[in-house]
């Protein structure tokens, strides 16, 4: 007979003391890494503005507010995330139920008949019993498993917040893109009309011998190029409208938004606060933290599984026969009570429990790295958004001055040419500069609004982990 290995024998000898001590394995605490004191791109004179979950109200658009409300109710990705949260909550309740005693009732009846050597006999055995079972959680395995399920559910609620923030920011950006395309289409139509007027003047002067064929052909090409721009912009507008419709939970067919200009929208005041606040305001960081908590609880459960498990059982009620044991049978109907206890300890399992523990520990190390990576990614998102906003704000004066001067130059060149005192090359250069300045200004407004949305998203969109912690 093969001898029991020394580690297993020592474990068996230690069982009585361990059972009496009742110590449990507790999950490791999650400690965030050191955080910087401030964001590099943050303005020193910025006044702190609290960011709420309805941050999009700051743009001053009732239509955007309505679209955000529709998305909160009708977006299918958000509905799927809600369903995942409900699944995780149910799984957490299931895991928590294993800590408590399991109680049930049952009944049975069996009729036995037989004959031998001319004699017959029959008997009816029946029982109506209540049963209870309870696993004594000495080492905290069941509590750790329940804690893992709760942390997983909390992580999925944070992931639901990620989806909600992605949807709300996507709706805002898509809405601004639609308005920007409206502006570009209106600008293209105005540009095309002005070019056609100039073309009519050139053709009249060509007939009169005051303009060359080159000037006529050049302006005709410019008009044709402007005409080609309109269908492209209209296709982009329909695509943007369709994307916005899907985000708010609507069919693309027949979906429209107003003709509001980007210039009429307000720019909300948003300040980043302290970097350490991202730990409580970014749902992706919270989701990574809860995943790490669940993994640490899984490690505690895997360690506890290496030690004995004690289960208690009891059955009580009425039955016939009153006692039906392996040796003694007490006939007749009467009360019955059965109690039992089972102690199990794995001696040799091929390293299964050790491998499960090693797997859980490696998983926890992976999620610790993911948690720290999520924090750094959050810091980078905020720094990038702040830096882009600063860059765009520094360009504001130049963008507006470029538009004003280009428009003035084009108008002057156009009037002089129409009156016969200007040359066509000057008009053509001024025309191109004016068209580029109008398109650039529209893109600039869209970039500023989108950058503000990205900053709100990078800061967590007003979400906090307090609600998850309370739940």
Map out the domains of the chain as residue ranges.
24-102+138-306+351-470
Q: Which of 255-269, 372-386, 456-470 has the lowest mean pLDDT?
A: 456-470
Q: CB-based contacts of 25: which residues, under 8 Å, 6+ apart?
A: 139, 140, 141, 144, 300, 301, 303, 304
Give pLDDT, residue 16: 43
Count CB neighbours of 299 within 10 A. 24
pLDDT tens, residue by residue, 37-85? 888 877 654 445 557 888 999 999 999 999 999 999 999 999 999 999 9
- Candidate from 109-123, 280-294, 351-365, 409-423 with smallest mean pLDDT: 109-123
> How confident is the model at residue 468, as a pLDDT?
61
Q: Is the pLDDT of residue 422 over 90?
A: no
C-beta atoms surrounding 414 within 10 Å: 20
Q: Indicate whether 446 pLDDT > 80.
A: yes
Tens of pLDDT, residue by residue over 250-265, are: 999 989 888 788 888 9
| Cβ(61)–Cβ(331) below 8 Å | no
- The answer, yes or no, to whether residue 327 has pLDDT greater than 80, is no
CB atoms within 10 A of CB 362: 12
Contact present, 27 and 292 (Cβ < 8 Å): no
Please list, residue by residue across 156-194, b when 16 or more beta carbons sit within 10 angstroms of its beta carbon and e when fewer do.
bbbbbbbbbbbbbbbbbbbbbbbbbbbbbbebbeebbeb
Into which CATH architecture does domain 24-102+138-306+351-470 fall? Up-down Bundle (1.20)
Nearest alpha carbon to residue 375 among 454, 467, 292, 275 = 275
Q: What does the block give as tokens for 14?
A: 């230690």
Residue spans of alpha helices (H) in 419-471: 424-458, 466-470
Predicted confidence (pLDDT) at residue 448 exceeds the cutoff of 90 = yes
Task: Give me the DSSP letters along 295-355.
Answer: HHHHHHHHHHTTS-EEEEEEEEEEEESSEE-SS-EE-S-EEEEEEEEEEE--S--TTHHHH
Residue 451 is encoded by which pair of tokens? 């950058």
297: how many CB neighbours lie within 10 A of its CB? 27
What's the DSSP call for residue 30?
-
The 10s digit of each residue's pLDDT in 49-61 is 557 888 999 999 9
Asked if 77 and 163 touch (Cβ cutoff 8 Å), the reply is yes
Q: What is the pLDDT of residue 50?
A: 59
Q: Are strands 323-324 and 329-330 parallel, antiparallel or unpaired?
A: antiparallel
Per-residue confidence at 405, pLDDT binned at 50, 70, 90?
Answer: very high
CA distance 182 to 25: 62
Give yes or no for a contact between 364 and 298, defined as CB atoms under 8 angstroms apart.
Answer: yes
Res 6 pLDDT > 50: no
From residue 120, alpha-carbon distances to 110, 111, 116, 332, 432 in Å are 17, 14, 7, 19, 114
Percent of the chain with pLDDT over 70: 91
What pLDDT was estimated at residue 238? Answer: 93
Q: Is the pLDDT of residue 22 over 90?
A: no
Average pLDDT for residues 387-416, to the nearest whole number? 92
Mean pLDDT of the chain: 85
Assign 234 to helix, strand or coil. helix
Asked whether 407 and 335 are in contact (CB, 8 A), the reply is no
pLDDT at residue 12 in the model: 40
How large is the average pLDDT for residues 297-306? 87
Q: Work out whether the CA dihedral 358, 468, 281, 159 comes out positive or negative.
A: positive
């Amino acid at each position: 007979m093969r001898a029991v290995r020394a580690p297993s024998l020592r474990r068996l000898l230690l069982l009585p003391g361990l059972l009496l001590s009742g110590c449990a394995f507790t999950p490791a605490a999650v400690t965030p890494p050191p955080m910087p004191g401030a964001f590099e791109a943050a303005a020193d004179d910025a006044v702190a503005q609290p960011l709420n979950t309805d941050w999009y109200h700051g743009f001053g658009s009732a239509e955007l507010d309505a679209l955000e409300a529709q998305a909160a109710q009708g977006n299918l990705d958000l509905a799927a995330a809600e369903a995942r949260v409900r699944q995780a909550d149910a799984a957490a309740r299931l895991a928590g139920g294993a800590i408590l005693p399991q109680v049930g009732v049952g009944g049975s009846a069996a009729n036995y008949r037989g004959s031998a050597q001319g004699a017959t006999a029959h008997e009816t055995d029946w029982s109506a019993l209540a049963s209870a079972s309870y696993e004594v959680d000495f080492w905290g395995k069941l509590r750790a498993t329940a804690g893992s399920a709760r942390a997983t559910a909390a992580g999925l609620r944070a992931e639901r917040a990620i989806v909600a923030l992605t949807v709300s920011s996507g709706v805002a950006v898509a809405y601004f893109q639609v308005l920007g395309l409206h502006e570009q289409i209106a600008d293209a139509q105005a540009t095309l009309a002005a070019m056609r007027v100039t073309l009519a003047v050139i053709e009249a002067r060509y007939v009169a011998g005051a303009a060359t064929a080159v000037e006529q052909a050049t302006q005709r090409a410019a008009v044709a190029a402007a005409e080609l721009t309109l269908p492209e912009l209209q296709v982009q507008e329909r695509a943007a409208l369709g994307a916005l419709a899907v985000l708010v939970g609507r069919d693309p067919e027949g979906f429209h938004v107003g003709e509001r200009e980007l210039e009429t929208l307000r720019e909300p005041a948003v300040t980043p606060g302290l970097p350490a606040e991202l730990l409580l305001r970014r749902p992706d960081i919270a989701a990574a933290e809860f995943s790490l908590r669940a993994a640490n609880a899984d490690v505690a459960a895997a360690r506890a599984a290496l030690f004995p498990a004690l289960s208690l059982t009891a059955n009580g009620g009425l039955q016939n026969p009153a006692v039906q044991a392996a040796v003694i049978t007490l006939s007749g109907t009467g009360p019955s009570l059965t109690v039992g206890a089972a102690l199990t300890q794995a001696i040799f399992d091929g390293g299964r429990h050790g491998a499960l523990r090693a797997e859980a520990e490696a998983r926890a190390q992976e999620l610790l790295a993911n948690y720290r990576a999520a924090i750094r990614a959050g810091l980078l998102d905020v720094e990038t958004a702040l830096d882009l906003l600063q860059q765009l704000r520094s360009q504001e004066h130049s963008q507006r001055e470029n538009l004003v001067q280009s428009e003035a130059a084009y108008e002057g060149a156009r009037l002089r040419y129409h009156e016969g005192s200007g040359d066509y090359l000057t008009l053509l250069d001024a025309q191109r500069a004016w068209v580029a300045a109008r398109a650039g200004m529209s893109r600039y407004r869209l970039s500023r609004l989108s950058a503000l949305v990205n900053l709100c998203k990078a800061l967590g969109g007003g979400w906090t982990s307090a609600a998850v912690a309370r739940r």
